């Protein structure tokens, strides 16, 4: 088993209608075909707009969510997090009620499994807006 000391919350920073499969495909498709060309997708779990939780990378494998921290992290992501109607795609917390409920139940499950792990947002490790809300504060009580 890997040692897990952090659970990091992300958003896809894309359209809310995307599916978990779209995201995995984008991460792993070769750069020459418009993807990221990564060996491993970015997140262990992706939560779709309807609240469906999709496990995209087994927890015992490293995913590609936070540079420099992935070895000991579980990366969790909701689909959305930007206003696609505006130029420059500004960050917005557009989690659906179903996504909010699924995030809480998924994070509770992971905290139960890895009690030593703390919950963070991607923004706590890098100068970016992801996941477009303060996950560390919101989930401090889980």
Residues that bind Zn ion (CB under 5 A): 10, 122, 130
**Rounded distance between C-alpha atoms, residue 67 and residue 22, angstroms:** 22
- Report how far residue 16's alpha carbon sits from residue 12's, in angstroms, rounded to the nearest whole number: 9
Q: CA-to-CA distance for 74 and 110, rounded, in angstroms?
A: 9
Nearer to Zn ion, 56 or 112 (CB): 56
The set of residues, in sequence order, having a beta carbon less than 8 Å from that of 81 and lying 6+ positions away, is 10, 11, 12, 13, 14, 91, 92, 93, 94, 95, 129, 130, 131, 132
Question: Which residue's CB is nearer to Zn ion, number 10 or number 27?
Answer: 10
Considering the complex, what minimum distance in angstroms separates the CB of residue 113 from Zn ion? 21
Please report how close the Cβ of residue 121 comes to Zn ion at its closest, in angstroms: 8
Closer to Zn ion by Cβ: residue 110 or 130? 130
Q: Cβ of residue 29: shortest distance to Zn ion, in angstroms?
A: 19
Q: Which is nearer to Zn ion, 4 or 23 (CB)?
A: 23
Q: How far is the CB of 65 from Zn ion (least distance, A)?
A: 6
């Amino acid at each position: 088993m890997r040692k897990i000391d952090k659970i990091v919350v992300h958003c896809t920073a894309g359209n809310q209608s995307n599916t978990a499969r779209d995201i995995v495909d984008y991460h792993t498709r070769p750069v020459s075909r418009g993807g990221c060309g990564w060996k491993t997708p970015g997140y262990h779990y992706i939560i779709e707009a309807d609240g469906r939780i999709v496990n995209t990378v087994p927890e015992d494998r490293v995913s590609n969510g936070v540079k420099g921290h992935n070895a000991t992290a579980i990366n969790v992501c909701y689909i959305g997090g930007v206003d696609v109607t505006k130029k420059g795609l500004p960050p917005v917390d557009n989690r659906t009620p179903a996504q909010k409920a699924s995030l809480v139940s998924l994070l509770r499950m992971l905290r139960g499994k890895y009690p030593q792990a703390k919950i963070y947002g991607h923004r706590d490790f890098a100068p970016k807006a992801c996941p477009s809300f303060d996950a560390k504060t919101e989930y401090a009580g889980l």
